[in-house]
Amino acid sequence: MARWAMVIDLDKCTGCGACMAACKMENNVAIVKPDEAQNGRAMFWMDMITTYEGEYPNLEVKRMPRPCFHCDDPPCIKVCPVRATYINEEGLVGQIYKRCIGCRYCMAACPFTVKVFNWENPQWLDEASTCFNPDVSRRMVGVVEKCSFCAHRLMKVKEDAAQEKRNILDGEYVPACMESCPADAIYFGDIEDKQSVVYKLAHSYRAYRVMADLGVEPKVYYLSKRKA
């Protein structure tokens, strides 16, 4: 069984934000009203975390794109009362929008604050209602959502592989954020497969995981000279 993991090379990443936009467009993520956004209700499945360290001339700014970490032992799913969030055998942590009762317990339980909630009826550009991605279901008010590792793309890849009677190739399953990253800073693949790029990178000396000590086993690895 494959275990899908992501590697983000912070030394390459410029913090351009393309991944954030790509994700929103690919996954039909809602745009909230201006004041809503100001009040901390903006929805980014891929968010950007900026931190400053030190002072000029040694000022270091760290920009860290942050999807859902698809933890192997995810605290979020443990608490869900209705199994509206779950982890599948390939390690993808998913949401069942139609079942979610909106208790937001999973949000409170996620150590990385990645989940977002539909506080109001999701609205998009008034008339852009035709440019939705038909592969991704749209959410309704009152449910939680988050990065899915573009699971819908995996389905497509599986279909292709099945038709051609072969295994999925390394680098064949490409999430939207990775696809349009202008710095090629995002890598994605099967971390069980010792030949895969992500396996190699995840075991490089620059690799680290956010709060690995929590033991929730995130499947998103970061590469950085500074951290290592």
Partner 1 sequence: MPSRLIEQARRGPGIETWKNTICGLCSAGCGIRVRLVDGLPVYVKGNPMYPINQGGLCPLGLNALHHLYHPDRLKGPMKQVGKFGSGKWESITWDEALKTVSDALVKLRNEGNPHQVAFLGHDERGLMHRHIARFMQAYGSPNYFQFSPAQDDGVAYLLMQGDPQIPAYDVLNAKLIVSFGSNFLEEGHSPIYYTKLYGHHQDSQTRYVQIESRMSLTASNADRWVTIRPGAYGALALGIAYVLLREELYDTEFVNAHTFGFEDWTDRSGTKHLGFKSFVLGNYYPERVAELTGVPSATILELARELGNTRPALVIGGQGAVNNTNGTYSLMAVQSLNALLGNFERAGGLYSIDEPPFGALPVVQRDPTGEAGNGRASVARSQDGSFPLAPFSMKTLTKNILEDQPYPVGVLFLYGGNALFETVDHIDFAKVLQKIPLVVSFDSIRTETSEYAHLILPDHTFFETWDEVSNVPSVGFTHIGIQQPVVAPLFETRHTGDVLIDLAKRIGGSVAASFAFESYQEEMKQGMNGVYESGEGAILSASIKGKWLQYLQQRGWQIGRYSSFDEFWAQLLEHGGWWNPIRKQKPWEKVFHTPSGKFEFYSQRLKSTFDALVKTTGDQQSPQDLELVLSRLNISARGDTTFLPHHEPVPFEPDLPMHLVTFQPLAIRNGNGAHLPMMQEMFGYTVGRYWDSWVEIHPKTASDYGIADGQWIWLESSVASLRVRAKITPGILLNVVAVPFGLGHSSCGRYARGHGTNPYSIMRNTYDLLSGKPALEVTKVKISVAA
Partner 2 sequence: MEIQDSRRPDRDELLYRPIYETGRGFYITAGMLLLVVLWAAYMYLNQVRSGLGVTGMNQPVTWGFYIVNFVFFIGISHAGTLISAILRLSKAEWRRPITRMAEVITAIVLAIGGLHPILDLGRPDRMVNIFLSGRLQSPLLWDVTSITAYFTASTVYLYVPMIPDIAKLRDRGGKFQWLYAFMAWGWEGTEHQKKVLNRAINILMVMVIPIAVSVHTVISYIFSMTLQPGWHSTIFGPYFVVGAIFSGIAALLIVMIAFRKFYHLEKYLHEIHFQYLSTLLLIMSIIWFYFTFSEYLTGVFGAEPHEMQIIMYKFKGPFAIFFWGMVACNFVIPVIILAFKRFKTIRGILVASCTVVIGMWLERLIIVVPSLANPRMDLPLGIYVPTVTEWALFAGGLAVFVLGYMVFSKFFPIISIWEIEEGRTEGLKEVEERIHSYLPAESASS
Contacts (CB under 8 A) with partner 2, residues 156-185: none
Q: Residue 8 and residue 163: Cα distance in Å, rounded?
A: 31
Binding site partner of 142, from partner 1, ligand SF4, partner 2, none, Cβ cut-off 5-8 A by kind: partner 2
DSSP 10-41: TTT-----HHHHHHHHHTTPPPPPHHHIIIII
Specify whether the CB–CB gap between 208 and 227 falls below 8 A.
yes
**121 near partner 2 (CB under 8 A):** yes
**54 near partner 2 (CB under 8 A):** no
| Cα diameter, the chain | 57
Q: Which of 86, 119, 132, 208 binds partner 1 (CB under 8 A)?
A: 132
Shortest distance (Å) from residue 211 CB to partner 1: 21
Q: Which of 79, 97, 104, 180 binds partner 1 (CB under 8 A)?
A: 180
**181 near partner 1 (CB under 8 A):** yes
Q: Which of 15, 17, 94, 102 binds partner 2 (CB under 8 A)?
A: 102
One-letter amino acid of 92: L
Q: What CA–CA distances, in Å, run from 108 to 46, 80, 113, 116, 156?
A: 18, 11, 8, 11, 33
Residue nearer to partner 2 on the CB measure, 17 or 75: 75
Q: What are phi and psi of 106, to 5 degrees?
A: -65, -35
Buried b (16+ CB within 10 A) or exposed e, 186-211: bbbbbbeeeebebbebbeeebbebbe
Both structure tokens of 149:
């590792």
Q: Which of 143, 176, 198, 220 binds partner 1 (CB under 8 A)?
A: 176
**113 near partner 2 (CB under 8 A):** yes
Q: Map residues 18-47 to x or -, x wherever contact with partner 2 holds by CB under 8 A.
A: ------------------x--xxx------
- Residues at the contact surface with partner 1, assessed by CB under 8 A: 9, 11-12, 14-18, 20-22, 24-26, 31-32, 34, 37-38, 42, 44, 48, 50, 52, 55-57, 59, 61, 63, 125-134, 176, 179-185
- Residues at the contact surface with partner 2, assessed by CB under 8 A: 36, 39-41, 49, 51, 66, 75, 78-84, 99-105, 107-109, 111-113, 115-121, 141-144, 210-211, 214, 216
